[in-house]
Amino acid sequence: MRKLKTSRQPEILDAALAIADERGLDALSMRAVAERIGVTPMALYGYFRNKDELLDGLVGRLLTQLAPAEPGGSWQDRLASVAWATRRVAKEHPAVFPLLLFRASVTPDGVRVVDAIYQALLEAGVPEPEVPRIERLVSTFVLGFAVSEVNGRFSGASNESRTRRGGPDAPAHRVLAEHLMVDDWDAEFAADLADLMRIIRPV
Amino acid sequence: MRKLKTSRQPEILDAALAIADERGLDALSMRAVAERIGVTPMALYGYFRNKDELLDGLVGRLLTQLAPAEPGGSWQDRLASVAWATRRVAKEHPAVFPLLLFRASVTPDGVRVVDAIYQALLEAGVPEPEVPRIERLVSTFVLGFAVSEVNGRFSGASNESRTRRGGPDAPAHRVLAEHLMVDDWDAEFAADLADLMRIIRPV
DNA sequence: ACCTGAACACCGTTCAAGT
DNA sequence: ACCTGAACACCGTTCAAGT
């Protein structure tokens, strides 16, 4: 359990994020990061105990960008703002973003985001015992949507193979054939958020 | 674009799934799979073009298990059955399951699952143009929940560090302190599904 | 039709040493 | 305080060859 240096941590994370953005997660090796900052791979181990901790640092970076900028506005505005910010970050860093789904966000930045959502839900009138669950419901959906969109789980299935999908054991696909094409994911995301708002505050 | 052999594909996928289940995704190497079925690594390339296609095969395996067994029951029952089956599969194969979020499910099994959900939503009275969106909303949440649960995104954040989280810039955490502990994820999932049902069929 | 051997260009990480 | 060199035990994959 050696003590880690912190001096060049930001520089290292910058380099790692750049590599992932430019060439994907598979290209993000300790050796590539080291080369980018002009150092031997082993030098990195003075700043991060191993590659996994470096990835945690990257997740921390993304969380910083999710933190709500303007604390003003209605609770609806603030929830929407976090949701759209999440989706924006996913598009900026598609390779690293999915890691958010795999690591508990107990960093100060992560807590700040969750706390902002808690506050919005409290203001919305969600009963206190329900607030943490609703927060998990909403953020699980938002993260899942952003990951799906950015990794082609949505688009891959909806373009060419869509027509062929109306096969023998897919009767509902045939019925819905004319509605299977999607070209406006912004609109879909907005409609989803509106639906979730109805869970938060029944009309 | 060579033609692939199929004879031993199931055997190979069995071995790969077993390795991932027992020792995690990082241990799932072509070399490990080969050794397990008593063959040279290169022999695998006669059955799968590369490791990525082998992983696709693994995703196909999981999709098979999601296909709804009993087509009977109300639409509510059938939706719930797919949701709980998804969560069960996640727990059986925690290492491989997250791959479902990254690959479009255009295989016959994947289409079958989606079609079953389409049918349920149509019966529920969801307007045809809305059905594909609601399907994506629900399955994104269900997949996201299962991945989060199985990878510790939920539990890690909710146990020890919870108390400390009520720091200076986390006022809502302090207010909600007594509700931050969760020990029954089945109950949480059930409550989430009930809320989603209210989106599908407004009461 | 199915499999192997040797090789290439990579990985993460440990250890001991160097300034 | 910070970095390097050499080494270890791995990867995925190509190519040519073997039965």
Cβ contacts of B6 within 8 Å, gap of 6 or more: B47
Q: What is the mean pLDDT of residues B1-13?
A: 92
Structure tokens at B186: 């089945």
Amino acid B143: pLDDT: 97
Taking the C-alpha atoms of residue A187 and residue A168, their distance in angstroms, rounded to an integer, is: 31
Taking the C-alpha atoms of residue B140 and residue B89, their distance in angstroms, rounded to an integer, is: 16
User: At how many degrees (to 10) do helices B185-200 and B75-92 cross?
Assistant: 140
Cβ contacts of B140 within 8 Å, gap of 6 or more: A141, A144, A145, A148
pLDDT tens digits, residue range B70-125?
Answer: 778 999 999 999 999 999 999 999 999 999 998 876 788 899 999 999 999 999 99
B157 pLDDT above the threshold of 60: no
B1 pLDDT above the threshold of 80: no
Amino acid B68: pLDDT: 74
Amino acid A161: pLDDT: 59
pLDDT tens digits, residue range A45-80?
Answer: 999 999 999 999 999 999 999 977 677 899 999 999
Residues 27-56 on chain A lying near strand D, CB distance under 7 A: 39-40, 42-43, 46
Chain A residue with the nearest C-alpha to that of B156: A104
Q: How far is the CA of A168 from the C1' of D12 (A)?
A: 39
Q: Token pair 């799979």 is at which residue?
A: B33
Q: How far is the CA of B35 from the C1' of C5 (A)?
A: 16
Q: Which among B112, B153, B155 has the least Cβ separation from residue A101?
A: B153
| Residue A45 CB in 7 A reach of strand C | yes
B184 touches chain A (CB under 8 A): no
Q: How far apart are the first and last CA of chain A?
A: 54
Residues in chain A: 203
User: Using CA atoms in the order B146, B147, B150, B153, what is the torsion angle rounded to 10 degrees?
Assistant: -120
Structure tokens at B176: 């909600």
Residues 40-59 on chain B lying near strand D, CB distance under 7 A: 41-42, 45, 50-52
Return the percentage of chain A with pLDDT > 70, whole number: 92
pLDDT tens digits, residue range A111-128?
Answer: 999 999 999 999 999 999
B201 in helix, strand or coil?
coil
Amino acid A118: pLDDT: 96
pLDDT tens digits, residue range A19-44?
Answer: 999 999 999 999 999 999 999 999 99
pLDDT category, A9, cuts 50, 70, 90? very high
pLDDT tens digits, residue range A150-194?
Answer: 987 887 655 555 556 566 679 999 999 999 999 899 999 999 999
Return the percentage of chain A with pLDDT > 90, whole number: 78
B163 pLDDT above the threshold of 70: no
B162 pLDDT above the threshold of 70: no
Please report the DSSP string for A141-196 in residue order. HHHHHHHHHHTTHHHHHHSSHHHHH--TT-HHHHHTGGG-----HHHHHHHHHHHH
Query: Does residue B196 or residue B170 have the better pLDDT?
Result: B196
Taking the C-alpha atoms of residue A134 and residue B196, their distance in angstroms, rounded to an integer, is: 11
| Lowest-confidence segment of A143-157, B157-171, B185-199 by average pLDDT | B157-171
- Helix segments in chain B, DSSP class H: 9-23, 30-36, 51-66, 75-92, 108-124, 131-150, 153-158, 161-165, 171-175, 185-200
pLDDT category, A108, cuts 50, 70, 90? confident
Q: How far is the CA of B26 from the C1' of D17 (A)?
A: 32
